[in-house]
Chains A and B, each alone.
Chain A
Amino acid sequence: MTSPLVIDARNISKSYGKGSSTFHALKDVTLQVAPGESVAIVGKSGSGKSTLMHIIALLDTPDSGSLSFNGRDALALPPKKASELRNKEFGFVFQQFFLTPETSVMDNVTLPLKIAGVSPRARRERALAVLRQFELEDKAASNANDLSGGQKQRVVISRALINEPTVIFADEPTGNLDSATGAIVEDTLFQLNRDRGITLVIVTHDEDLAARCDRQVFIRDGVVVPSGAGVAAA
């Protein structure tokens, strides 16, 4: 048998609200991701992409279905273990930057390590190494607010990488950027995927970005559909 799936989500359903106003955001969704794979979750706005990503990243719980991470039942994990897993194994890039204002780039980037309880010295070294990679070394002391959009997104990716995750979850990583900076960010993500074997789960409605991934999963109204025909937003 080959190495187990990084993510194995089966028959995931999730609904919001109660009674007649119940809204089924995900219906019986199954998604499997192998180690080192890059997967795009594509669909129109409101189709349930972010909801699915939140569930497989253990940020949210499904109403029904099963989920395992590296062969372990992820839904049965006690909250402490789930937090630890997110802290150690996952890197997050969200739809918005989520940089803490009035706080230095250094502090923003080292947040996951701080939460993990890494010593300040080791945090700094690690952060400088990552920032160097993204040519942001000289911005380490700057206020995160004072960066350009592209720089901010690179800071966000630095933050996602600092704990050397096995999976990076990226929700519209280029949604906030112009096409040139967007391209740089894309290149960076795929380079990490290629060079370090980091698994990528990218939520997007951008067909070009989706096409660069190994595999595309199309979602329409909370259901996985076989092909992209008429699914991705124009």
Chain B
Amino acid sequence: MKATDLVGSAARNTLRSKLRTTLTVLALFIGAFTLTLTTAVGAGVTDYVTKQVASLGADDVFIVTRTAGDTTEGPRAYDPKTSSASSATGGPALPGAGQSDPMTEADLEKLAGISGIFRVDPVQAVAVDFVQYNGGGQFELSVNPTSSITRADLLAGAQLSESSGTRELVLPADYVDALGFADAQDAVGAVVPLGITDVLGARHQVDGTVVGISQESLLPSGGGANPAMVSALAEAQSAGIDTGPARYPLAVAYFDPALSSAQVSDLQESVAAAGFGVQTIQDQLGVIKTVIDGIIGVLNAFAIVALVAAAFGIVNTLLMSVQERTREIGLMKAMGMRAGKIFALFSLEAAFIGFLGSLIGVAAAVLAGSALNAALSAGPLSSLPGLNILLFEPGAIMGIMLLIMAIAFISGTLPASRAARKNPIDSLRYE
């Protein structure tokens, strides 16, 4: 028998007992449907997070904090040179950088002394009250002091310049309308005042130039400011008073961007060994990813359970089919069909059932998922442009179909070998 005839016969045989095939296919359908959706969610979210990380750039920085609790036994003795007031209301921080003890100048020196660290920039915490444009309404704005080391996902304009002496700002997209700009492009170049209250309670305004409008994302929205802007704000905030040893919620440490990832983690360890909390930007996002991967893993486990159940369904269906078609098998053997071809025929029937189940399941999942995607993007997830919660990758879909066909094929081998071993005479005598 030719291979094409084998495949054709297998397909036709499966369609002969429609109800039985339908029920078996249904079990596979559920598995395929679930697996496709969960994989798509995994891919969608991972893709989004990866893009966010990529947009952050900054492969050559650590976000460094003072590890809380690296104290000796009991309360620490106060030393005006190094001690700083702990406060739970630290300045704005990058995601994942939790509240911790502020860093002092001594800490910065120690950090800069670690070999491999090129430069250390303390991050000043500034608490901006509001932003305003052209005498319009005043809106609260949190300014991310580390924004200039990362690249924002821009709707319009340009990135912040770290070295520029001009005071630059990047505003989130939802401020465009609120502040009364026609569109994002219109906002670029505008000079806006930021309101800030100094430590004595006096109010000040610091002007900044809007250089870019950022898209909203999973990462903290809020405005970005370049070092020139941040230090102007910090100066206004301190009201020219020496408020004791300088304190920074965190510092940015630069290293050689050419380091390999192994070298980076070595460096990261030596910084951590010096008593700092240290994270790369990827680390901070890794936490999010780990949680997502965990959820996807659980969902995939459900899909696999469904597929295992479906595999037993296939074994059962085909065993019944082999029994029912004993005489047909005997006849084919009598007419010169070899055992190997009989085995192939029944295995292919199983694979065909797998093909049907996976095809229908995957197609239904893609249709349902695309509709869901559109609905979610327009509704609950509209605040996260660029996020397609379900991302169907052709490779993944092919992989799922192949996996299910393989499961079906393997399930088919037991009934198929039983069919192949049938003695033609016993089969012909079978009633």
Does A59 lie within 8 Å of B335, measured CB to CB? no
Q: Are A103 and B425 in contact (CB under 8 A)?
A: no
Q: Is B336 an interface residue (CB 8 A)?
A: yes
CA distance A120 to B16 in the complex (A): 20
Assuming the contacts A87-B336, A112-B336, asked whether A59 and B2 have C-beta atoms less than 8 A apart, the reply is no
What are the residues of chain A within 8 A of B327 when measuring CB–CB? Answer: 96, 98
Cβ contacts under 8 Å, B418 to chain A: none
Confirm or deny: A27 has a beta carbon within 8 angstroms of a beta carbon on chain B.
no
* CA gap between A117 and B9 in the complex, in Å: 13
The residue on B at minimum CB distance from A119 is: B2
Q: How far is the CB of B331 from chain A (nearest CB, A)?
A: 5
Query: Would you list 24 pairs from A and B whose C-beta atoms are within 8 A, ordered by A residue?
Result: A54-B425, A57-B334, A60-B425, A80-B338, A83-B333, A85-B336, A86-B335, A87-B335, A92-B331, A92-B335, A98-B327, A98-B328, A98-B330, A100-B328, A100-B331, A102-B17, A111-B331, A111-B335, A114-B1, A114-B5, A114-B9, A115-B332, A116-B336, A117-B5
Interface string of A114-156 (1 = CB under 8 A from B): 1111001000000000000000000000000000000000000
Q: Which residue of A lies closest to B338 (CB)?
A: A83
Asked if A115 and B335 sit within 8 Å, CB to CB, the answer is yes
Chain B 313-347 interface mask (CB, 8 Å, partner A; 1/0): 00000000000000110111111111001000000
Q: Which residue of B lies closest to A51 (CB)?
A: B425
Q: Give bound CA distance, A130 to B17, whole Å.
A: 29
With both beta carbons as reference points, the residue of chain A lying nearest to B426 in the complex is identified as A60
Q: State whether B332 touches A111 (Cβ < 8 A).
A: yes
- Asked if B208 is at the interface of the complex by the 8 Å CB criterion, the answer is no
Q: How far is the CA of A101 from the CA of B331 in the complex (A)?
A: 13
**A117 x B424 contact (CB < 8 A):** no
CB neighbours (8 Å) of A102 from chain B are 16-17
| Also in contact, A98 and B331, with CB within 8 A (given A83-B338, A115-B336) | yes
Closest chain A CB from B37 CB (angstroms): 35
**What's the dominant secondary structure at chain B's contact region?**
helix
A96 contacts across to B, CB distance below 8 A: 327
Which of B2, B17, B332, B335 contacts A117, CB < 8 Å? B2
Binary contact readout B1-42 vs A (1 if CB under 8 angstroms, 0 otherwise): 110010001001000110000000000000000000000000
Chain B residues in the interface with A (C-beta under 8 A): 1-2, 5, 9, 12, 16-17, 327-328, 330-338, 341, 424-425, 428
Q: How long is the Cα–Cα vector from A100 to B337 in the complex, in angstroms?
A: 15
Known interface pairs A54-B425, A114-B5, A115-B1. Does A86 touch B336 (Cβ–Cβ under 8 Å)?
A: yes
B residues near A218, Cβ cutoff 8 Å: none
Could you tell me the distance between the alpha carbons of A96 and B330 in the complex, rounded to whole angstroms? 12
- Asked whether A59 lies within 8 Å of B424 as measured between CB atoms, the reply is yes
Q: A59, B336: Cβ atoms under 8 Å?
A: no
Residues of B within 8 A of A101 (CB): 16
A88 and B425 in contact, given A102-B16, A114-B5, A114-B9 (Cβ under 8 angstroms)? no
CB-based contact B336/A117 at 8 Å: no
Closest chain B residue, CB of each to CB of A82: B336
Give me the 8 closest cross-chain CB pairs, A-B, nearest first: A87-B336, A83-B336, A102-B16, A86-B336, A115-B337, A98-B331, A112-B335, A60-B425
Whole-angstrom CA separation of A86 from B335 in the bound complex: 6
Roughly how many angstroms separate A101 CA and B13 CA in the complex, as a whole number? 10
A73 at the interface (CB under 8 A from B): no
Check if A79 is an interface residue, CB within 8 A of chain B: yes
* A86 CB contacts on chain B under 8 angstroms: 334-336
**A59→B334 contact, CB < 8 A:** yes
CB nearest neighbor in A for B2: A117
Interface mask (A37-61 → B, CB under 8 Å = 1, otherwise 0): 0000000000000000010010110
For residue A84, CB closer than 8 A to chain B, the reply is yes
Known contacts: A83-B336, A98-B327. The answer to whether A117 contacts B425 by CB under 8 A is no
A84 CB, min distance to chain B CBs, angstroms: 6
- A134 and B400 CA atoms in complex are apart in Å by 50
Residues of B within 8 A of A80 (CB): 338
Q: Which residues of B contact A100 (CB under 8 A)?
A: 328, 331
In the complex, residue of chain B having the shortest beta-carbon distance to the beta carbon of A95: B428
| Residues of chain A lying within 8 A (CB to CB) of residue B337 | 83, 87, 115
Write out the residue numbers on chain A whose beta carbons fall within 8 Å of the beta carbon of B333: 83
- Interface residue from A92, A107, A114, A120 paired with B334 (Cβ < 8 Å): A92
Contact of A59 among B1, B5, B338, B425 (CB under 8 A): B425
Determine the distance from Cα of A120 to Cα of B6 in the docked complex, in whole angstroms.
12
Of B1, B9, B17, B338, which one neighbours A79 at CB under 8 angstroms? B338
With a CB–CB cut-off of 8 A, which chain B residues contact A112?
Answer: 335-336
Chain A residue nearest to B423 in the complex (CB): A60
Contact of A88 among B5, B12, B16, B336 (CB under 8 A): B336
- 12 new A-B contacts, CB < 8 A, other than A83-B337, A115-B336, are A60-B425, A83-B338, A86-B335, A87-B337, A94-B331, A98-B428, A102-B17, A103-B12, A111-B335, A114-B9, A115-B337, A120-B5
* Most A C-beta atoms less than 10 A away, residue of B9, B12, B331: B331
Residues of chain A lying within 8 A (CB to CB) of residue B9: 114
The distance in angstroms between the C-alpha atoms of A72 and B328, with both chains bound, is: 29
Instruction: Kindly provide the distance from the CB of A52 to the nearest chain B CB, expressed in whole angstroms.
Output: 12
Q: Across the interface, do B1 and A84 meet the contact criterion of CB distance under 8 Å?
A: no
